Chain A
Amino acid sequence: MKGLGRGRGSGRRGAADGGGPPGGGPQGLPGISVTGRRAGTFCLLLTVALCVQATRVQVFRADELNHNSANQRLVVERYSQPRGSIRVGADSVTGSEPTGGRYDYKRTYTDGPLYAAVTGYSSQTYGNSQLEGTEDALLSGTDSRLASWAVWDAVARRQNPGGDVRTTVDRAVQEAAVRGLGRQKGAVAAVEPATGRILALASTPSYDPGSFAGTSADDREAWSRLQSDPDRPMLNRALRQTYPPGSTFKVVTAAAALESGVVTDVDAPTDTPNPYLLPGTSVPLVNDSAACDEPNQSLATAMALSCNSVLGRLGVEVGLRRMAATAEGFGFNEARLDTPVRAARSNFDTRMDEAQLALSSIGQFDTAATPLVMAMVAAGIANNGTVMRPQLVDSLTAADGTVVHSVRPSVYRQAVGPGTAGQVRRLMVDAVENGTGRAARIDGAVVGGKTGTAQHGVDNTGTPYAWFIAWAAPAGSAAVPPVAVAVVVADSDATEVTGGGLAAPVARAVMQAVLSR
């Protein structure tokens, strides 16, 4: 374009039009040399406008446009090669098959419903969820960690073969959890207390993520059927749903009472009147067990019999600030609990009056927890008060098996001291040996647990949630127990709903699966 736009210079104008050659302008008006240059400058400006707009679209708005929901490019790229595997132990629980359609490959699941709460789904129509979503870059091969020449690969847009995700899940434990829940609606979370490794993550009823992995009418029908199912099979109850934890929360309250010094001897009588009226009200905090109505029961007896009055009063005595701090040490009020799949936030209110605090301390009122966080409570007690960060991924590998990332155990919080944890373990063992959790006893093992039967719904009319949280260790072992588990049964055909009756047997099966490895 050089030479254009210089026409405004008076020297050029004079040179081109002076002397009135045929091209000169009429009577002193600028000639074609000048107007032509101006028109040329105009055309140059049009080019500049195009370049500016191209830069806007291709550079500044590129990210937004690439991620637009109607833009199929990311999906096409994602499915242009076999997707990496999600592994449980040595086995791959996922696969890829050629489709012959617009998307070259489709996700398959070898045991879809069994692992749906672990894998999530990878659908060409409906996107990704859970591990399929959080680890998508690795599975689809775009993760820069897979590239041997990161910069060159980025320039050439070379797509590496998809890498594998090795999970911490144990097949036997997972199967025990799903089999234990059976046809009941509920969830199981099992972790290894010393490391935070998640051994099982189950949610029932489950679904087959392979049923809507493609783009066909069948896929769409399967999806809409799952979406409209009143039992909500696609809800991951172990991670994404909170329930009032009921009496299982008394483990946290007991730990807070011991840690804060409100209780120094678990066998000493507590100063609990009968009936215990909620502070500032004339409403008594009732007990399920008649033995609890004896005044001044010890903490040990209260835990074994699950006495609301004793634990509610202790919670008030510990105080809101210390109760909340202890609960938060176990994972409550954490908005970003990433396994890497994010767990829903478990709640313990930080502002309430004493009556509400008493109710919250026995796992009612606004207290709500995911099964994962209740498993962290049991695991923290088992691990001498140290709560480990729960982890679902063991390592990430490239397609050739090279480890590109290995997840190390990390401490989430020191919730209570080792002494307190040891005392609470004794209380939990007592609850299983002699109290409400007898259904979880295992021959040749030490089991500590706590039952819970949580009321919910308007005026507590809903079917109660049956809870059980526990840990187990081989008898005589001084090591940290190898498993902690939380079970919630939200709905079942049973006539009598109690944590000890419905949830404890499931927890027992899961723990036995770990102990018999």
Chain B
Amino acid sequence: MATPSAVTRTAGRPRRTVPTRRNTELALVLAAVLTAVLGYAEVGLNVDGAVPADAGEYGGALGVLALLAHGAVRWRAPYADPLPLPIAVLLNGVGLVVIYRLDRATPGNAAPTQLLWSSLGVGLFVLVLLLLRDHKRLQRYAYIGALVALVLLVLPIFFPPVYGSRIWITFGPFSFQPGEFAKVLLAVFFAAYLAVHRDALALTGRRVWRLRLPPGRVLAPVLAIWAAFVGVLVLETDLGTSLLFFGLFVVMLYVATARTGWIAIGLFLAAVAAVGVGRLSPHVHSRVADWLDPLGSIAAGHGANQIAQSLFAFAWGGELGAGLGSGHSALIGFAAKSDFILATIGEELGLTGLVAVFLLYALLVSRGFRTGIALRDPFGRLLAIGLAALVGLQVFVVAGGVLALIPLTGMTLPFVAQGGSSVVTNWVIVALLVRMSDIARRPGPGEGR
């Protein structure tokens, strides 16, 4: 308010400009691509003693994708936060390198497919930036989105289970996990619903001891949708995703209403659900047993289970790692490229590389939170925070599982793990965060007040 009037501005003095930081982003993106190319070279040098012949092609492909994404940001979101895109490129590149490395030691050739999915992900990233000029438009489709999410989640029940979980839809050679797409739609729905009803949720309702419980008519729709999701997931025995949705639900409710009661209720419900499911499902029960005593199956004479193999891989890495291509993480066996890909990173890049990856995620998540806090509209704020929390929680659930910090649930590490649906979804999440950060930092009509 206390700033120079319109007169001084029209008098030709330069308007205060907001730096776009696009060149910073370009430099970081190129550094990320270069890191991935060096990773390819290291794998080749360690495995074959020579730089792989296709390193140039892989590096080139990743570079083209990264530059396309950067171009889209430069063109359509010039004020966006410069960090999310380079982080996504780097994580995706590291994932491609590690999958390429595991291809050398295990059956199957997953790296080219993963590169294809990454291209699709970047395509969607560009598309979101081009088509979605303002995230607030998503608010209109919140309920339809929730319905679509539910349908996506129910679909796999009609397909055969894969490794004990009905979370896959298969069309010939293609398969994807609809739960991955559903989580974005669910975050949008929660953000839209809570933006509208947060006052009612926060201020009305009955007080029980020191907690204020929200009134039934406000809470009911949220609980119903959430219960439907969790029910579907428990039926499909996909615990990771249901844990993730549950965490998202609690975090967003708390952020919207500032009611610590939500956390208490959430933790209580989680405990009840955990005990109940643990009792009922043998699949879950064995996971919990393996978590409590990862080396127990060895003492019992059954050999090392997957979580023990995963711990062996991490331990072998030590502080500095065995070097890309020089580890033995193929011993983990099945799912080495997907759920357990972090073990290969720990084994070959060591604690140093592992912590670096964790910090990349932490940085990405924190930029999401910052965007949320910087935005002015409640829907955008909640959506940005929700999407960031989604990534953070997923990393924790996956990494905590393979490190035996929490029971193993079987989810994909964002951007890194093999799995098309996961890569594509995470590129969409980053696109939304980039779009929202652009709006948050864009100098609007009110700029300079």
Mark A residues whose CB is within 8 Å of B.
Answer: 1-4, 16, 21-23, 25-27, 29-40, 42-44, 46-47, 49-51, 53-55, 57-59, 61-66, 68-73, 76, 155-157
Contacts and interface: CB of A to CB of B under 8 A. Distances in A.
Contact of B320 (A16, A38, A155): A155
26 contacts: A22-B376, A23-B377, A32-B373, A32-B385, A36-B255, A36-B369, A40-B388, A43-B392, A50-B403, A54-B358, A54-B399, A57-B311, A58-B314, A58-B317, A58-B319, A58-B351, A59-B319, A62-B315, A62-B318, A63-B315, A66-B316, A70-B295, A70-B303, A73-B312, A73-B331, A76-B328
B400 to A, nearest CB: 6
B150 interface: no
A71 B198 CA distance: 53
Interface string B2-23: 0000000000000000000000
A73 B400 CA distance: 23
A4 B366 contact: yes
B129 interface: no
A71 B372 CA distance: 46
Interface string B171-197: 000000000000000000000000000
Contacts of A21: 376
Interface in B364-407: 365-366, 369-370, 372-373, 375-378, 381-382, 385, 388-389, 392-393, 395-396, 399-400, 403-405
B350 interface: yes
B439 to A, nearest CB: 14
Given A29-B259, A36-B369, A71-B315, 5 more contacts: A23-B375, A46-B392, A46-B396, A54-B358, A65-B316
Contacts of A22: 376-378
The 7 tightest CB contacts between A and B, nearest first, are A65-B315, A43-B392, A40-B369, A70-B304, A62-B315, A46-B396, A53-B405
Interface in B308-326: 308, 311-312, 314-320, 322-323, 326
Given A70-B304, A157-B323, A26 B400 contact: no
Contact of B403 (A54, A64, A156): A54
A172 B319 CA distance: 50
A46 to B, nearest CB: 4
A39 B255 contact: yes
A59 B382 CA distance: 39
Interface in B202-230: 202-203
A33 B373 contact: yes
A59 B318 contact: yes
Contacts of A61: 311, 315
Contacts of B254: 35, 38-39
Given A43-B388, A73-B328, A57 B404 contact: yes
Nearest to B370: A3
B314 A47 contact: no
B203 A27 contact: yes
Contacts of B346: 54, 57-58
B275 interface: no
A32 B311 CA distance: 39
A255 to B, nearest CB: 51
